[in-house]
Structure 1
């Protein structure tokens, strides 16, 4: 049987029906579903990173389930329906792409993005804004939010125009971390603050060289994981475990793994 989006909406509504629905689904609310939404979003990202198209198909379905489920909750509370969500985003796409659906032109991706941001700003011009940072959700992952904060501030000129002072700020923050480490006794709160400043400054460098900090760290995590798994395999092949090796021996295996990648 082939299902349409309307069939799917009715399936979710049935799960939420007090008469014969699913006890688990009936117990859920906006807040309780947040972990599910986050989990499914990251599973989509992982499938993309692994270029696993079979799994991506499944994970996109799971992510769509979250959208429809939240829309069902809102429909039950008489806020809006899934059709409203769909209609709103379709209208937004048409409105913010006059170079596609209208008679304007965009010669490249920069012009297209600039037009999108210009129209977006016009749409929000009637809203009460206390700060240019109001539009950046606090729920964003920390690295992503750091990038967004910096980018927004750069729009009003609060930004370095060249790379050297950005690198200089990283070196300054690193020195402050080193200084804090030398304190006796160490102040855990202060050290945490300095580490945060160092990371924030590093994110700023990534932004200046048009490198996505969140994606960069995700790739670094993946690279580290693969290398560590490989040294585990090498240790097993030697008939031993990592726990039985010295740090120097583990570093030697690590170097072997790195050299094999070249």
Structure 2
């Protein structure tokens, strides 16, 4: 069921009014009144991840519900900023609208494009002209490191660095780098400090991200898939045992694991 434009605007206006009342010093909610942009950061992150989880599930009701929770965080952040006389939701909406129009000249202007790749190239060019204060590559990469989860940031940094010339001639070079970093990590585990071990682990993971980039794979989605499969296999195992898994031997657990793996593989085929 699709709402009309007037119904949508009415619903948004009601949400804005409710949030404003929650933040009203006279009769508002003590919790909402105590919030700051910084205190709300964990909720922004949590709600964004819950939206992603709902999208992956394909559950329409869950998607709509989680998008609402994320929208609340946008409206609440804007209300807090308005209360502090910084900006309001109108400025937020106006800025993103102007940005969309500016970055889509093939839709809102007369620029002709012939492919999705060309659209992406134009988008990057426009972004580059907008970020005049970020002329250095390091400034651009710092932004990714600050604002994105490490695995996602690693892929963004890898792609940007490659475009700037920090790239191997072939995937063979990436594999050589992987073997080098693996050996250094193994050496660090045996002979070096915990700090160096951590650093070498990071180098190894970054090289794996580069392997994924060369293979046109998404390391974040790959790890999420592995996490999901691991949990699914545990669910299968727990469905056939009669006592806690910790009470079984390693050999028994391995047998249950293989059975669960085969059963799930059969379901997927």
Structure 2 equivalent of residue 141 of structure 1: 149
- Would you say 1:118 and 2:125 are equivalent positions? yes
Instruction: Let me know the Cα RMSD of the aligned residues.
Output: 1.6
Give how far 1:87 is off: 1.0
Q: What are the superposed Cα offsets for residues 208-260 of structure 1, whole Å, 9 maximum, x if unpaired?
A: 2222222221111111111122112222xxx2331221111111111111212
Structure 2 equivalent of residue 209 of structure 1: 215
1:230 counterpart (221, 236, 241): 236
2:250 counterpart (247, 253, 259): 247
1:90 counterpart (90, 97, 113): 97
Quick one: distance in 2 between partners of 1:45 and 1:26? Answer: 28
Aligned pairs, how many? 255
The 5-angstrom pairing of residues 149-188 of structure 1 reads 149-183=157-191, 187-188=193-194
Quick one: distance in 2 between partners of 1:55 and 1:20? Answer: 31
Structure 1 unaligned segments of length 5 or more: list them.
Answer: none
Q: Which has the higher helix share?
A: 2
TM-score under structure 2 normalisation?
0.89
Structure 2 unaligned segments of length 5 or more: list them.
Answer: 1-6
Q: What are the superposed Cα offsets for residues 187-226 of structure 1, whole Å, 9 maximum, x if unpaired?
A: 2222222111111110111122222222221111111111
1:107 counterpart (105, 114, 128): 114
Q: What are the superposed Cα offsets for residues 13-69 of structure 1, whole Å, 9 maximum, x if unpaired?
A: 111000011111001001110011111011101111111211110000000000000
